[in-house]
Structure 1
Amino acid sequence: MNVITIPVKQGGILAATLWERSDAKGTVILHPATAVVQAFYKSFADYLYEAGFNVVTYDYRGTGRSRTGMLRGCNVSMSDWIEQDVSCVTDWAKSRFPALRIMAVGHSVGGHAILLSSATRSLHAAVIVASHAGVTRTIKQTVEKIRVWSLLRLLAPVLCRIFGYMPARRLGLGEDLPAPVMQQWGRWSAMPDYFYSDPQWDARRRAGEVTLPLLVLGFDDDPWANPDAITRLMGPVKNAKIERREIRHADFGIPSVGHMGFFRSRCAETLWPEVGSWLARECLR
């Protein structure tokens, strides 16, 4: 396991970690969720490495080890993560391992990146975990819907104006975020079809151009990435070969999965092989 630095063409760096093996069957890039640092995915990366893959994890600019200096004034947006950061780490992996197939696993906004980034054309296959169209009306539980709506529409805009960034840590919501990330996320959540409705972000066309095999995972106790929200996200993805699995956590003897739990060690023996075996099969096709 080696710590590496990948420069971003538009400015800044991506702090990344590489698991490299001489007999790798392919290379897997892990695209993280919003406000989640790469260390969260270490155990899953270890699993993929032991399963025969090179693995790359990283932090988006403005988060984790990719954060340089103060967040106030950082002008990186969520669409910059999706297009610029993802493209740079994908190009780096292609250059480092030109003879191997490049695949990706995207968690939440990392799954959005697989659908929308121009770098996706370089992938051989990808797995999308707990990703959804983040419009608040798809949340079924009333209390959770009010909580998320209040955070994205009321609290976050005020806090970003006061602090110049989103102080998520103080609220127990993960990593602090650049203000443009939080503001763009809030705007998308207010649109009828999330980022597909954004006139400045040609998301519907981008998603329609994806043609690679996709494994899409949802979990029955995830309040955000529920079946309706996943369907809204995947609707414009008309040309990909999609295998969608709605996983009932009780069927696997797991107490909970939710939005974050797939990457925790309690899922190692039951759910991780679902992804590892799928990636291994696609690597051979």
Structure 2
Amino acid sequence: MTIFDPSRTWFADDDQAALVVIFNHSRPHARGPVFVCLPAMGVAASFYTPFAEALAQAAKGVAVLTDLRGQGQSEALARRGARFGYQEIVAQDIPSLTASIAAQFPGRPIYLVGHSLGGQLGSLAAAHMAPGLAGLILVASGTAHYRVWPKALRWRAGIAVRAVRTVAALLPWYPGRLLGFGGDQPRRLMADWSYNASTGRYRCAGSRIDYEEALNDIVLPVLSVEIRADPVAPTGATTELLAKLASCAIERRQIDGVTADAPWRRHFSWARSPDEVVAEIVAWVRPQLRRVNVECLERAVA
């Protein structure tokens, strides 16, 4: 483990599936929250550095960035023959990372924060670890299901989904960097993505778990921060994802994002200008932290 400065610690997990960076507020509260941030498909964790720094500062806690397996600094690359899908990420990587973070920051509430696909994977991972989480935060996240896109775009989305599914099935790996969508990914991960994009349901290849039922059984506070007129995560897609979390207490909030950017860019550019998203997260988290502190005090007095 190498420390670059007092606020950042870099380390790789045991199988080098992901690289993690921790942003620690300079004077964190003893019970300050910990946010484990999961990126969008094909996006390196380093892209979210301004967001993580701002969130740690505003919440007086800790923000953790992690590359998804096969992305960013991860060495499990599809073009090198790595084979994995959603199951390895949601049943192994995210729970393992969160357990390590919990051990490093004992007693602190932990929130999963997922952007786009990161929000979907975080939701699926919560099925394995909900009792250890304080909440789930989704940013510009919804299912990939093309049928819940706006009608004007639905036919194009359907064609794109079929094209992605075909390319991923025919080639040794999906060359997303070349095609401009999703980054390079293994065939099995894209098969999982394609299943959701085609049906709206989640099924992780290699797992016997019924994730639709598992999502329904999760009991957590959930915040959904949505970008108005986001064509990558339209309102219908977010609604479909949230509907699967039927046992959760859900709060939805909308922001404008970086209005100077084209609509599709706003799906990503909020992470570089994160004040709106950070403000919504902090406003949602603070009442929960006060309740937790009161409950802890009551238990201590009793």
Q: Is the 8 A contact 1:107 1:131 kept in 2?
A: yes
Q: Is the 8 A contact 1:127 1:216 kept in 2?
A: yes
The structure 2 residue matched to 1:132, chosen from 133, 142, 154, is 142
Q: Secondary structure at the match of 1:41?
A: helix
Q: Which runs of 5+ in 1 are unaligned?
A: none
Q: Is the 8 A contact 2:123 2:136 kept in 1?
A: no
Q: Secondary structure at the match of 2:159?
A: helix
Q: Is 1:119 matched with 2:129? A: yes
Cα displacement (A) at 1:70: 5.7
Per-residue CA deviation, residues 115-171 of structure 1 (Å, 9 max, x unaligned), is: 2221232111221111212211111154x4344333332244325533x11111112
The structure 1 residue matched to 2:39, chosen from 21, 32, 45, is 32
Q: What one-letter code is carried by the residue in structure 1 that aligns with 2:19?
A: A
Q: What one-letter code is carried by the residue in structure 1 that aligns with 2:21?
A: T
Q: Is the 8 A contact 1:31 1:58 kept in 2?
A: yes
The structure 2 residue matched to 1:60, chosen from 68, 72, 75, is 68
Q: What one-letter code is carried by the residue in structure 2 that aligns with 1:20?
A: N
Output aligned runs, 1:1-285, within 5 Å: 1-7=8-14, 11-21=15-25, 23-24=28-29, 25-51=32-58, 52-68=60-76, 71-117=79-125, 118-140=128-150, 142=152, 144-159=153-168, 161-162=170-171, 164-191=172-199, 193-195=200-202, 200-247=208-255, 249=256, 254-256=259-261, 258-265=266-273, 267-268=274-275, 270-285=276-291
CA distance in 2 between partners of 1:253 and 1:236 (Å): 29
CA distance in 2 between partners of 1:197 and 1:172 (Å): 24
CA distance in 2 between partners of 1:127 and 1:187 (Å): 24
Q: Secondary structure at the match of 1:66?
A: coil
Q: What's the TM-score, normalizing by structure 2?
A: 0.81
Distance 1:236 1:196, change over 3 A: farther
Distance 1:161 1:72, change over 3 A: farther
Distance 1:46 1:190, change over 3 A: same
Identity across the alignment (%): 25
Q: Secondary structure at the match of 1:67?
A: coil
Q: Is the 8 A contact 2:224 2:250 kept in 1?
A: yes
Q: Which runs of 5+ in 2 are unaligned?
A: 1-7, 292-302
Q: Secondary structure at the match of 1:284?
A: helix
Q: Secondary structure at the match of 1:23?
A: coil
CA distance in 1 between partners of 2:119 and 2:78 (Å): 28
**Bigger shift: 94-103 or 39-48?**
94-103
Distance 1:146 1:238, change over 3 A: closer
Q: Secondary structure at the match of 2:143?
A: coil
Cα displacement (A) at 1:255: 3.5
What value does the CA root-mean-square deviation take over the aligned residues? 2.5
Distance 1:159 1:26, change over 3 A: closer
Q: What one-letter code is carried by the residue in structure 2 that aligns with 1:170?
A: L
Cα displacement (A) at 1:46: 0.6
CA distance in 2 between partners of 1:225 and 1:155 (Å): 18
CA distance in 2 between partners of 1:141 and 1:217 (Å): 23
Cα displacement (A) at 1:174: 4.9
